[in-house]
Amino acid sequence: MSLKGKRAFITGSFQGIGLGIATALAHQGADIVLHGLADPETIKNAHAAVVDAGAGSVESHVSDLKDSVSTERLVATILASGPVDILCNNAGIQHTANIAEMPREKWNDIIAINLTSYFDTMRLLLPQMQARGYGRVINTASVHGLVASISKAPYISAKHGVIGLTKTAALEYAASGTRESGGVTVNAICPGWVETSLIEPQIQARVDMFNGDRAAGIADLLSEKQPSRRMSTPDEIGALAAFLCSLAAHNITGASIPVDGGWTAQ
């Protein structure tokens, strides 16, 4: 599989799952457009990682996706230097609290970034994919787009919304292109536990409980919900995203693919 000549825009890609996706697409030779909010050192490291992975070219953009007007400007800037073949919506934030205690502004921010920004980038980029007969939209949803848990009302609402949005867009663009051109597909990946710096404090707390045994600590942390008791890595999520970008995946559209060690099979 090769993605040489394809240009991929990944939101929230300076670290974590987004960087894992960007790196996986770079391995296939894609041109990479990184994006997010991060300090200069984090951006520099992400840029270097994607270059080392083999990206055809790399550029970085910093913007806050809460503001739709800002997102429109961002997309216009990106399109000014060439089309976008692959859109990976990955940006997201979280805040935990019961519904009664959830600050109203947190609801607004989480819905804006975790759902509305996905709608904005899709409405702006899908038509130009359709015109060329090839396009891939990969939305990072979550296991929490399929099931719920307490204290995460805005996050879970947004992720359920992402899955509905994914299905709708998939239907609207299903007949675009051909097998040879690759068609236009829209899918969601639904990770369970993924080993990122964001959850490292939770991991380390359990590792300490097991006298430094990392595998045992992770298994204990995951025991309540993820039957495999193994975390995924950002690179593994990226590998799935890369496959979904291939021509072989032209008929995979509207899917919400769990990567959750059996969590949602229960």
pLDDT tens digits, 210-239: 999 999 999 999 998 999 999 999 999 999
212 backbone φψ class: left, alpha, beta (φ>0; ψ -120 to 50): left
Q: Is 155 a catalytic site residue?
A: yes
Interval 69-112: pLDDT, tens: 999 999 999 999 999 999 999 999 999 999 999 999 999 999 99
pLDDT at 198: 76
The residues that bridge with 34 in the sheet, in sequence order, are 10, 60
**Rounded percentage of the chain residues whose pLDDT exceeds 70:** 100
Average of per-residue pLDDT values in the chain: 97
Q: Which of 118, 134, 155, 173 is catalytic?
A: 155
Domains of the chain: 7-192+233-261 (3.40.50.720), 195-231 (no CATH)
pLDDT at 197: 82
**Beta-strand (E) ranges in 39-124?**
58-62, 86-89
Q: Are 183 and 172 in contact (CB under 8 A)?
A: no
pLDDT at 5: 97
Tell me the pTM. Answer: 0.96
Q: How far apart are the first and last CA of the chain?
A: 34
Whether 7 has a pLDDT exceeding 90, the answer reads yes
Q: What is the mean pLDDT of residues 151-163?
A: 97
pLDDT at 141: 98
pLDDT at 1: 77
Whether 53 has a pLDDT exceeding 90, the answer reads yes
